[in-house]
Structure 1
Amino acid sequence: MASGTLDFYYEFASPYSYLAAARITALAELADVQVAWKPFLLGPIFAGQGYTTSPFNTYPLKGAHMWRDLDRLAVLARLPPVTRPDPFPANGLLAARLAVYLNDACRPSFTRAVFYAEFAQGRDISDRETLRQILAGLGHFYGDVIAEAEQQEIKDRLRHQTEEAKHRGIFGAPSFVTADRELFWGNDRLEMALDHARSLARVG
């Protein structure tokens, strides 16, 4: 039986993307679904919606609830207590370029490490030293990797992936898109997205 497929769109500034990234690999293996990890930038999409910052900052009550919600969900996912990055949302541009540059095999572990540094350790992921340490911890020659990630080709690939997300109707992160272009939004829709991806493989 053929495996299902799922596109996982995530933004490094997104706390719920952190939770999804921590959970998706094990759940996808159980569901026999192959996941394509697709970092993108929410900033241009939010700008098109009229936001100049995260909606969780624009609406303080919503933001306060979100951080409490994350605390509860982190316990369920057996993750450390969530630490709010300062500033929030964090600038994940270079991290996203690095994730785009890394190959499919390396991208998930790098992504999880960046999210962990940001939301479990409260580190500044816009700081090159933070990213250098993450890359070194994963066995990468960070100087070469960072230089390559700042080439125009990688910048264009990230821009294209962000435009692709917008074209697919994505308005927030995390988002999941199945082979039939069905869109599922939010960490709490991950299981539903995987079930749908698996069902399409069965039909095929």
Structure 2
Amino acid sequence: MSLDVTHHQGAEARPVDRGAFYYDFASPEAYLAAERVLNVLPFAAEWIPIRAPRAWDDGFRCAEERAVAQGEIERVAAARMLQGVRWPPEGFDSELALRAATYAKQIGRAVAFSLAAFRQAFAGGADLGDTDVVLIAASACEMHPRAVLQALERDAVARALDEATEAAVARGVVSVPTVWTPNGELLAGDAALDTVKP
């Protein structure tokens, strides 16, 4: 599979100095990054939803470790003056939201939909595995419910998500959030955005 950003997912030609922001709605750290990535990157970045190669909580050995990590997410969100974190159901399935985001990307609404979906999950505590919740996020950016429902079932949308995930892994993405810079550097994790120079 070609990794040339000008041909990613068969989209229209893109300039080679464009970066990419990879995310999965199941990651609270990706939520934190999504809320600031537009403001901190000194280059344009394409928002690309993918199935996370590794789950956010894969490394937790016990419930206590998970609680500490959640507390850190809440602390960072508060420090950035985001809405208070309300946790969605543990282990919710992000597949529906990822497919909706893939469709939103195809119609030029990836950023608007993705921010709305992240906020539904981590500011509203909603389950993005619920179709109605996904449709609420879609309505926030004027995506027609019927079109979204059709897209969720479309093989081409699922295939585009597969291809985006495969391309990200081929670039070396092992977790989300990750920013791929125009010079090929990978910035993994929300904290990595702190190292970006204007």
Cα shift at 1:21: 0.6
Please state whether the residue corresponding to 2:164 is helix, strand or coil: helix
User: RMSD value over aligned CA atoms?
Assistant: 2.2
Q: Distance in 1 between matches of 2:152 and 2:129?
A: 14
Q: Distance in 1 between matches of 2:158 and 2:151?
A: 10
| 2:21–2:177 contact (8 Å) kept in structure 1 | yes
* TM-score of the pair, normalised by structure 2: 0.84
1:101 is aligned to 2:103? yes
Deviation sequence 1:127-164 (CA, Å, 0-9, x none): 11111122123222111122023211111110111111
Q: Distance in 1 between matches of 2:118 and 2:59?
A: 18
Q: Distance in 2 between matches of 1:76 and 1:5?
A: 30
Partner of residue 28, structure 2: 15
Further displaced range: 2-11 or 111-120: 2-11
Cα shift at 1:56: 5.3
Q: Distance in 2 between matches of 1:54 and 1:68?
A: 13
Partner of residue 131, structure 1: 134
> Please, which runs of 5 or more residues in structure 2 have no aligned partner?
1-14
| 1:176–1:185 contact (8 Å) kept in structure 2 | yes
1:112 is aligned to 2:115? yes
Deviation sequence 1:47-77 (CA, Å, 0-9, x none): xxxx8x8325544343122111011100122
Matches within 5 A, 1:1-204: 5-28=18-41, 31=42, 33-42=43-52, 45-46=53-54, 54-55=57-58, 57-86=60-89, 88-103=90-105, 105-192=108-195, 194-195=196-197
Q: Distance in 1 between matches of 2:88 and 2:105?
A: 27
Q: Distance in 2 between matches of 1:74 and 1:155?
A: 32
Cα shift at 1:84: 1.6
* TM-score of the pair, normalised by structure 1: 0.81
| 2:24–2:177 contact (8 Å) kept in structure 1 | yes
What is the number of equivalent residue pairs in this alignment? 183
> Please, which runs of 5 or more residues in structure 1 have no aligned partner?
199-204
Further displaced range: 90-99 or 3-12: 3-12
Q: Distance in 2 between matches of 1:63 and 1:96?
A: 24
| 2:135–2:148 contact (8 Å) kept in structure 1 | no
